[in-house]
């Protein structure tokens, strides 16, 4: 078994003059839940499309489940379930017909699982897709992916449109039915609370670059924010993830050794106002804020 379910190295994608991906390197460990975070247009969906062979990279390399990514690599598609950002479904068909359609493509497909998930999510299986609400369409997309029995689930904002009850059901199912069986879930999301709920790993990208890739537990335990004031404050450092200047204050996000860094600043004559643990949300905001001076990071754990 491969150590990483998804592995990219300096992945690049250009659309004309626009760099959608600019040397993205990520490593999603096999059997983990990986939350892929970024602002709108950061390159999340482009990354997922390249991984699924829908788009071609213009540079770098990528591997999924040990297989090199390219559009005709059916070995990846056989072992991977994908839910796209817009939840594309055949409007004129019913969920029951889509289940039949999808089931025919996969050896690992389970009709029994499809039935179980359709009941769990209360999907109206005999109604045409075009008559379904956004939430129900999302549920159908997830049903098709979950019943596939894939080794890797690649989900692009999978829970958009779901109410909190179904959202909770889906997240629980992802963990109980998939991750517990050693499968990998790689999902992009804007909802940080959802990511904090189930993800073990997070990757934060911006402008096509990986800013941070770390275990969520490491962020909780080791990441610190240091707010300091003074002259000649450093613009970076070994463990500094981001620096943001706000008038007379400097906000540092550190991946470890927050107390040591604060002590060092004090030795240099700075006034350290606060050293505190930092949430995923604060890390995310610190990294992707326009005015933030980010230091692209390697894998931290």
Partner 1 sequence: MYLWKCWLEYRRVALILFVMTFGSICYVDYAVVSQPQLVNNGEGRTVLLEPGLGRFHKQEMQTAAIEEMKSIHCGWLVLAGLLAAICAGAGGGIGREYDGKTSELLFTRPRSRRSLLWMNWLSGMLILEAISLVPLVTWLAFRLAVTHSIGDGALFQTLLMWLPINMLLFGISLCSGVRLRSAPAGTVCSLAVIFWYGVTVTVLRAHFGLQTPGWWFDKLYGQFPYGHSQFPLGICSLWIAIALLFPYVTQKVLELRDIA
Binding site for partner 1 (CB under 8 A): 49, 52-56, 71-72, 74, 77-78, 80, 82, 84, 86, 88-93, 97, 100-102, 104-106
Alpha-carbon distance of 48 to 82, in angstroms, equals 9
In the 8-state DSSP scheme, what is residue 182? T
In DSSP notation, 87-137 reads: ----TTS-HHHHHHHHHTT-TT--HHHHHHHHHHTT--TTS-GGGS-HHHH
Nearer to partner 1, 9 or 85 (CB): 85
Nearer to partner 1, 40 or 267 (CB): 40
Alpha-carbon distance of 254 to 31, in angstroms, equals 28
Residues 50 and 69: beta-carbon distance below 8 Å: yes
Question: Minimum distance between the CB of residue 299 and partner 1, rounded to whole angstroms?
Answer: 28
* Nearest by Cα to 188 from 160, 148, 219: 160
Question: Minimum distance between the CB of residue 7 and partner 1, rounded to whole angstroms?
Answer: 19
Question: Minimum distance between the CB of residue 89 and partner 1, rounded to whole angstroms?
Answer: 7
Nearer to partner 1, 27 or 137 (CB): 137
Tokens, residue 282: 């604060």
Residue 11, CA distances (Å) to 54, 132, 135, 150, 189 in order: 15, 37, 33, 24, 20
Nearer to partner 1, 100 or 245 (CB): 100
Nearer to partner 1, 2 or 73 (CB): 73
CA torsion angle 14 60 81 18 (round to 10): -10
Nearer to partner 1, 90 or 301 (CB): 90
Question: Minimum distance between the CB of residue 23 and partner 1, rounded to whole angstroms?
Answer: 19
Question: Minimum distance between the CB of residue 292 and partner 1, rounded to whole angstroms?
Answer: 31
Tokens, residue 11: 């992945």
Nearer to partner 1, 100 or 276 (CB): 100
Question: Minimum distance between the CB of residue 16 and partner 1, rounded to whole angstroms?
Answer: 12
Question: Minimum distance between the CB of residue 205 and partner 1, rounded to whole angstroms?
Answer: 19
Residue 100, CA distances (Å) to 114, 130, 131, 299 in order: 10, 18, 19, 42
**How big is the chain by its Cα radius of gyration, in Å?**
21
In DSSP notation, 150-173 reads: -SEEEEESTTTT--HHHHHHHHHH
* Nearest by Cα to 215 from 61, 90, 28: 28
Tokens, residue 44: 């999340």
Question: Minimum distance between the CB of residue 50 and partner 1, rounded to whole angstroms?
Answer: 9
Nearer to partner 1, 161 or 234 (CB): 161
């Amino acid at each position: 078994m491969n150590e990483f379910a998804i592995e990219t190295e300096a992945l690049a994608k250009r659309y004309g003059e626009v760099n959608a991906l600019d040397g993205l390197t990520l490593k999603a460990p096999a059997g983990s839940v990986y939350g892929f975070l970024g602002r709108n247009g950061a390159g999340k969906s482009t990354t997922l499309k390249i991984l699924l062979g829908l788009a071609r990279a213009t540079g770098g390399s990528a591997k999924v489940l040990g297989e090199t990514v390219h559009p005709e690599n059916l070995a990846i598609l056989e072992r991977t379930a994908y839910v796209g950002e817009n939840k594309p479904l055949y409007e004129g068909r019913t969920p029951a017909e889509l289940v039949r359609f999808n089931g025919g493509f996969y050896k690992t497909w389970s009709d029994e699982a499809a039935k179980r998930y359709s009941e769990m999510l209360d999907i109206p299986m005999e109604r045409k897709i075009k008559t379904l609400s956004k939430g129900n369409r999302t549920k159908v997309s997830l049903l098709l992916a979950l019943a596939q029995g894939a080794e890797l689930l690649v989900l692009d904002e999978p829970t958009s449109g779901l109410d909190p009850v179904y959202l909770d059901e889906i997240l629980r199912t992802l963990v109980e039915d998939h991750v517990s069986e050693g499968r990998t879930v790689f999902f992009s999301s804007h909802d940080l609370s959802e990511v904090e709920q189930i993800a073990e790993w997070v990757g934060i990208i911006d402008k096509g670059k990986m800013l941070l890739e770390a275990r969520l537990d490491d962020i909780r335990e080791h990441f610190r924010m240091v707010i300091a004031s003074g002259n000649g404050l450093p613009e970076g450092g070994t463990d500094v993830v981001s620096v943001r200047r706000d008038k007379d204050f400097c906000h540092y996000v550190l991946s470890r050794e927050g107390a040591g860094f604060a002590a060092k600043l004090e030795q240099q004559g700075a006034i350290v106002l606060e050293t505190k643990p930092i949430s995923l949300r604060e890390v995310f905001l610190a990294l992707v804020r326009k005015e933030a001076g980010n230091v692209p990071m390697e894998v931290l754990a």
